[in-house]
């Protein structure tokens, strides 16, 4: 990330920390809004108008607090607004919602997964039926990140079936829409303040202008690439946590030559995670080629580092509550979308067999 944008992100993070006075869970998002963090990554913000700025802020939040849930809740808000609204919204949709997102007045979230179906396009059933000049949306969604605090839901729904294949559209549905109900899911304490919910859509009537994008099928055009974008930017969260854990680990273990060697080794590995994450995110902004192996490598190396940090911590006094919570959050987030990641890893391996020697 260019130096000026790095400094700008760092300055806003410092402002946020000063406003929150270190107690970031008392009011997770109010101080962020006052520090201008919700402008990061959105159009019209100059050097901050990119994914690198979102990732830099996410990394800094995790590195400063050890709270993966807080960092991912922030990044989730910004990525949804940037990817879907700024990337596919029309002029009216962008003008209506993006300024309010940037001010911290509105939280937009994406709703793709469904109970018992996950996010697989063959199994999703939420539908949007054309009716008059608009649509009637019916169905259920699950595991909607930031859903309990959301003001606007971007709902993926089946718009038709052609030759046995479902076609999807994405619809902007405000939380006050008649027929929409939000059902908070049990909170995962380790991920606080990140929250999730289920949605029930009982005949929600929306105008034609609520549809985002004019493509035939929103799943391959939006839902599928967003998964990759989310994974890539999420490596910054891993990077931030590793830096936080390394500092905490150094405080909790005995100062011996052997431990110094292990800590130095881990510091070197963490620096590789930092560098690979930055390169992977920069590619989202068109700077350098996208290399799928980078994201795979970051996550595998992060797992190795976390396992070794756990071994080191086991030597000393019991870790404090913040470390246990951070490790628990890591375990939860690293298990999300595990199967799609295995598919990408296998695809990468298979590609090596196709190389002609």
pLDDT band at 149 (very low <50, low <70, confident <90, very high): very high
High-pLDDT (> 70) share of the chain, %: 97
Cα–Cα dist 151/308, whole Å? 41
pLDDT band at residue 336 using 50, 70 and 90 as cut-offs: confident
pLDDT band (50, 70, 90) for residue 2: low
Q: At what angle do helices 321-335 and 68-80 cross, to 10 degrees?
A: 40
Averaged pLDDT of the chain: 93
Phi-psi region at 118: left, alpha or beta (left = phi > 0; alpha = psi -120 to 50): left
SS3 176: coil
How many angstroms separate the CA atoms of 247 and 8, rounded?
25
Q: d(Cα 278, Cα 333) in Å, to the nearest integer?
A: 20
Q: What is the pLDDT of residues 309-323, one digit of tens each?
A: 999 999 876 778 899
Task: For residue 232, give both structure tokens.
Answer: 């890539």
User: What percentage of the chain's residues is helix, strand, coil (to nearest 5)?
Assistant: 55, 20, 25
The region, left, alpha or beta by phi > 0 then psi within -120 to 50, assigned to residue 44 is left
- Is 70 exceeded by the pLDDT of residue 3? no
Q: Is the pLDDT of residue 1 over 70?
A: no
For residue 245, the Cα-to-chain-centroid distance in whole angstroms is 20
Say yes or no to pLDDT of 70 above 90: yes
Nearest residue to 226 via CA among 304, 152, 168: 168
b/e per residue, 205-224, with b = 16+ CB within 10 A?
ebeeebbbbeeebbbebbbe
Mean pLDDT calculated for residue range 29-49: 96
Please give the pLDDT value at position 342.
82
User: Which positions ≥6 away from 185 have C-beta within 8 Å?
Assistant: 142, 143, 195, 196, 197, 198
Estimate the crossing angle of helix 321-335 against helix 224-252, to 10 degrees. 150
Cβ-Cβ contacts under 8 Å for 75 (sequence gap 6 or more): 54, 55, 57, 58, 233, 234, 236, 237
Q: How far is CA 98 from the centre of its chain?
A: 18
User: What is the pLDDT, as a whole number, of residue 183?
Assistant: 94
List of E strands, the chain: 108-111, 127-131, 134-145, 152-162, 165-174, 180-184, 196-207, 211-212
Query: Span 269-276, mean pLDDT?
Result: 97
Q: What pLDDT, on the 0 to 100 scale, is given for residue 355?
A: 64
In terms of Cα–Cα distance, which of 60, 49, 52 is closest to 232? 52
Enter the tokens of residue 70: 């807080």
What does the angle CA 113 – CA 111 – CA 61 come to, to the nearest 5 degrees? 105
Confidence tier at 348 by pLDDT (50, 70, 90):
confident
Inter-residue contact 109 to 153 (CB < 8 Å): yes
Pick from 67, 146, 110, 15: which is nearest to 322 by CA? Answer: 67
The full set of domains in the chain, from first to last, is: 3-102 (no CATH), 108-215 (2.40.110.10), 220-353 (1.20.140)
Is residue 182 a contact partner of residue 155, using CB atoms and an 8 Å limit?
no
Q: What local confidence, expressed as pLDDT, does residue 46 receive?
A: 92
C-alpha closest to that of 15 among 1, 30, 28, 34 = 34
């Amino acid at each position: 990330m260019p130096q000026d944008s790095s400094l700008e992100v760092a300055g806003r993070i410092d402002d946020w920390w000063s406003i929150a006075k270190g107690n970031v869970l008392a009011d997770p998002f109010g101080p962020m809004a006052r520090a201008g963090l919700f402008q990061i990554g959105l159009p019209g913000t100059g050097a901050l108008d990119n994914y690198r700025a979102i990732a830099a802020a996410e990394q800094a939040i995790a590195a400063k607090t050890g709270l993966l849930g807080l960092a991912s809740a922030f990044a989730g808000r910004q990525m949804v607004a940037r990817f879907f609204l700024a990337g596919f919204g029309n002029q009216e949709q962008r003008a209506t919602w993006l300024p309010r997102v940037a001010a911290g007045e509105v939280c937009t979230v994406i709703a793709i997964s469904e109970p018992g179906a996950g996010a697989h396009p063959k199994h999703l059933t939420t539908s949007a039926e054309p009716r008059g000049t608009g649509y009637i949306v019916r169905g259920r969604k699950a595991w909607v990140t930031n859903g309990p605090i959301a003001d606007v839901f971007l709902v993926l729904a089946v718009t038709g079936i052609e030759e046995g294949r479902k076609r999807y559209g994405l619809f902007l549905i405000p939380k006050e829409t008649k027929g929409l109900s939000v059902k908070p899911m049990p909170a995962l304490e380790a991920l606080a303040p990140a929250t999730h919910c289920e949605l029930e859509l009982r005949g929600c009537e929306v105008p034609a202008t609520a549809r985002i994008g004019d493509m035939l099928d929103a799943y391959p055009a939006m839902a599928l690439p967003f998964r990759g974008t989310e994974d890539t930017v999420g490596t910054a969260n891993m990077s931030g946590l590793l830096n936080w854990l390394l500092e905490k680990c150094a405080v909790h273990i005995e100062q011996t030559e052997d431990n110094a060697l292990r800590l130095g080794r881990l510091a070197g590995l963490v620096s590789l995670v930092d560098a690979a994450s930055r390169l992977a995110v920069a590619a989202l902004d068109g700077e350098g080629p996208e290399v799928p192996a980078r994201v795979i490598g970051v996550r595998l190396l992060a797992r190795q580092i976390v396992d070794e940090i756990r071994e080191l911590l086991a030597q000393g006094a019991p870790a404090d509550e913040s470390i246990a919570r951070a490790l628990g959050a890591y375990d939860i987030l690293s298990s999300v979308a595990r199967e799609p990641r295995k598919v990408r890893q296998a695809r990468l391996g298979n590609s090596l067999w196709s190389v002609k020697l």
